Structure 1
């Protein structure tokens, strides 16, 4: 058995804190913190996932109103023990080249493109954690026979839980968190319907 590298050992008995991520240059790209535990994206990313994230970022950025930025693969500091990294997010925070995370108060939308290794976290854990942090909108994008299907949720403020607002195939139309129309069938060039 191979020894665990020293940098992977938690700095304290209660585990890792959100701010510790900025002090781990040895950590693999896309390292998240969930309930004080480091989560690494170790499996290879599928081309479907990568292209879909890029296409969604471009589509959202093109339609975002002034004052809304669309980012990919940036962590959100939900609390001191949780700092997940959604595939994309829309935020009211101004661009800062040195930023390493966002606070929930400035995040309008998070979107997760589900992959086999992240399915449980994306469908249950992150759904609950983003809602509890007060993020207004959550999109979960599933692969349905090669086509993207968007499961959209909106925050019910008093309960701090998400209510489903729709399942979108072929086209996504929404007025929240800002007006957006996305032809889902055209997001992946070369895909035949």
Structure 2
């Protein structure tokens, strides 16, 4: 039976099963970190548009990869919960997630994730650059991107790769809209080419 959450005070951690008992609509706005439920940061329309544009752009490259490699199945999603570990339960909702395909209704877990992306909003920088980065690294997710945006669209994309032995990310490259021809031009985890125009949400004045 689903239960409402309504921002209840927690004096002790809950289990993953108890988290899933929270009604689905409410749970979409929540993450769980070491058994404690935390609300997601506020995201405005531009934030969501940038995430959607980026997801669509990565999906185009994923389709090309699947066409050239029939054994590969890759999905891209927004607003999808990723279970990083179950004891104590920690699950984040990246702005964009790229993962190996799942069966319907399966819970997405970190071992199937190729890339997670966070789009930085006012007030979310510390969470995205410190707390979430550490969680994604601890979970073994190989690639982490951080996207900054303005009223026109994506401004910069920072890309990090996991050092497996250290369980920490190393900065690979930062691209800027006014200084790089392509927003993304990489070969790992698969070939991804993205032009800045694909990440535009409003015309330049």
Q: TM-score with structure 2 length normalisation?
A: 0.80
1:21-170 map, 5 Å = 21-25=19-23, 27=26, 29-41=28-40, 43=42, 45-64=43-62, 65-66=65-66, 67-80=73-86, 81-96=89-104, 98-99=105-106, 101-143=107-149, 146-148=152-154, 149-170=156-177
The reply to whether residue 8 of structure 1 matches residue 21 of structure 2 is no
Q: Is the 8 A contact 1:61 1:70 kept in 2?
A: yes
Spell out, residue by residue over 1:16-61, the C-alpha distance to the aligned partner (whole angstroms, 9 max, x if none).
2333331100635321112322121363x22210110110111111
Alignment TM-score, normalising by the size of structure 1: 0.85
Q: Conserved in 2, the CA contact under 8 Å of 1:7 and 1:24?
A: no
Write the distance in 2 (CA, Å) between the matches of 1:128 and 1:42. Answer: 17
SS, match of residue 90 in structure 2: coil
Detail structure 1 runs of 4+ shifted over 4 Å in the superposition.
144-147
Q: CA deviation at 1:176?
A: 1.4
1:102 Cα deviation (Å)? 1.2
**Any unmatched runs of 5+ in structure 1?**
none
| Alpha-carbon distance in 2 for matches of 1:165, 1:72 | 23
Count of residue correspondences: 185
Call closer, same or farther: CA 1:140–1:28 in 2, change over 3 Å: same
Match for 2:193 among 167, 181, 185?
181
Q: Structure 2 regions of 5+ residues with no counterpart?
A: 67-72, 178-182
> Cα RMSD between the aligned structures?
2.4
Alpha-carbon distance in 2 for matches of 1:189, 1:42: 21
Is the CA contact 1:91–1:108 (under 8 Å) kept in the aligned structure 2? Answer: yes
Superposed CA offset, 1:94-125 (max 9, x none): 241x24x3111110110011112322111111
Q: Which residue of 2 aligns with 1:20?
A: 18
| Cα shift readout 1:143-173 (whole Å, capped 9, x = no counterpart) | 2675521110001111111101100123211
